[in-house]
Amino acid sequence: MERKLFEEDHELFRDLAREFNSREVAPGYARWDAEHIMPRQLWKAAGEQGLLGLAVPEEFGGAGMPDYRYRVVLDEEFAKANHLAVGLAFHLHDDMVLPHLLAYGSDNLKERFLPDMVSGDKVTSVAWTEPGAGSDLRGIRTKAVRDDGGWRLSGQKTFIGNGISGDASLVLARTDGSSGRGGRDSFSMFMVEKTEGYKTGGQLDKMGLKASDTAELFFDNVSVPEENLVGEVGRGLEYAAGQLPQGRLAIAVASSAVARQIYEATVQYTKERSAFGERIADFQNTRFALADIETEVEVTEAYVDSAILAFNEGKLDAVSAAKAKLWASERVKSITDRCLQLHGGYGYILEYPVAQAFLAARLLTIFGGTSEIMREVIGRRITA
Ligand SMILES: Cc1cc2nc3c(=O)[nH]c(=O)nc-3n(C[C@H](O)[C@H](O)[C@H](O)COP(=O)(O)OP(=O)(O)OC[C@H]3O[C@@H](n4cnc5c(N)ncnc54)[C@H](O)[C@@H]3O)c2cc1C
């Protein structure tokens, strides 16, 4: 089915994204994958190309382009080029940190962070998950206490993307002094800059997406100025819930883009490879498998595209975003598995995009809320 999502300007932007991939990313990507980190220069280059912080208003140095379809184009191009780790790193900065600053940040916070986030001079991360609390954020134990007109932050976070390479982190911390499972008003959100007491753990050795860094963070009595509080005290969980639809939509978009890309690569592969005197593509099993996959890819695109348009209209609700993430991430997990099988032994070799996509896709049903949590979000609405 023909997709009707994009207009001419999006396709022009696609040229830019494609060029960025071939000029700035492709030459170094394999090395960054081996080193488990991408260079800061890449962020600067992305900033110079106008690829970061598209939604940031012009007064704060951005392009003032909240149309989410531009972000979609970028993700699709990362998927096509198999530069999925760059997509992940940008996602945390642009789809997770940025919306919170735009929606709840004071003018002071916006002025200090947004222009540098757009230019790539400041790289940011999201530090919500802790060793003892992931799905259930009310279990967060990192605490911030008032001190001398500001705050003192202590605690530990884990699985933090851009944690090593980043300059500042959007941290959820307990601010009501409670213990055990906190209440709705127990947590606040802070932009925490790397300063004394803010320590980064070593690289966590992920199965895929290795060119992006993921680490533990340790906060030992870190001084956080009052101006770095995002919004109001006690509203951190409410803010996180308010912006989750964008984060989940972004994961659905990436899932859909990877599924499309790997499907197309697999069609090509099965037409080139032969066994028993026939192309792999000519076996009925292959035709049936590809028919299933193509149907799933198109149905996924149709739902995700509707979610993108709803988001642009400010109408994407939490349940629809959860459905998009649940469906698309579960599809890409299954599709990359079946496509890998159609590649035979080459599918297991990391040089082949399908092997890398298989490993990358495994994250998508876990982070940003697991599939089980998505089912809870959807199911609770049904049975309310
Ligand atoms: C590579 C990677 C990058 C990440 N990046 C970030 C990041 O940048 N910032 C950040 O803050 N976090 C990040 N995360 C953390 C991620 O969001 C969490 O791992 C995820 O939310 C799940 O939390 P958990 O690992 O604590 O699992 P748990 O919450 O311990 O869940 C374990 C299992 O129990 C299931 N479960 C939990 N609760 C329920 C329930 N109520 N009903 C049914 N089943 C349930 C889960 O679905 C899962 O299957 C990242 C994780 C990874 C692996």
Among protein residues, the one with the nearest Cα to ligand 1's atom 30 is 134
Could you read off the pLDDT of 2-39 as tens digits, one per residue?
999 999 999 999 999 999 999 999 999 999 999 999 99
pLDDT band at 302 (very low <50, low <70, confident <90, very high): very high
| Summary count for the chain: helices (H), strands (E) | 12, 10
Could you read off the pLDDT of 102-114 as tens digits, one per residue?
999 999 999 999 9
Q: Which of 94, 365, 366, 377 most suits a substitution to test ligand 1, by most atoms within 8 Å of the C-beta?
A: 366
Backbone angles phi, psi at 147, to 5 degrees: -155, 115
The angle, 0 to 180 degrees and rounded to 10, between the axes of the packed helices 318-342 and 371-383 is 140
Question: Nearest-CA neighbor of 70 among 209, 301, 322, 250?
Answer: 250
pLDDT at residue 21, rounded to an integer: 98
CA 49 to chain centre: 20
Gap from CA of 244 to ligand 1 centroid (Å) = 14
Type of residue at 284: Q
Gap from CA of 64 to ligand 1 centroid (Å) = 33
* Per-residue pLDDT at 1 exceeds 90: no
* Per-residue pLDDT at 98 exceeds 90: yes
Mean pLDDT for the chain overall: 97
Could you read off the pLDDT of 57-68 as tens digits, one per residue?
999 999 999 999
Instruction: Say how far apart CA 343 and CA 81 lie, in whole Å.
Output: 19
Domains in the chain and their CATH numbers? 8-123 (1.10.540.10), 125-233 (2.40.110.10), 238-383 (1.20.140.10)
Structure tokens given for 84: 């999925």
Q: Which of 129, 142, 189, 204 most suits a substitution to test ligand 1, by most atoms within 8 Å of the C-beta?
A: 129
Question: Nearest-CA neighbor of 77 among 328, 254, 250, 336?
Answer: 254
pLDDT band at 237 (very low <50, low <70, confident <90, very high): very high
pLDDT at residue 137, rounded to an integer: 97
pLDDT at residue 350, rounded to an integer: 95
Higher-pLDDT residue of 149, 375? 375
pLDDT at residue 356, rounded to an integer: 97
Q: What share of the chain is helix, strand, coil (3-state, %, to 5)?
A: 55, 15, 30
Could you read off the pLDDT of 81-91 as tens digits, one per residue?
999 999 999 99
Instruction: Say how far apart CA 81 and CA 43 lie, in whole Å.
Output: 17
Instruction: Say how far apart CA 37 and CA 32 lie, in whole Å.
Output: 5
pLDDT at residue 242, rounded to an integer: 96
Contact call for residues 210 and 85 (beta carbons, < 8 A): yes
Question: Nearest-CA neighbor of 216 among 146, 169, 257, 284?
Answer: 169
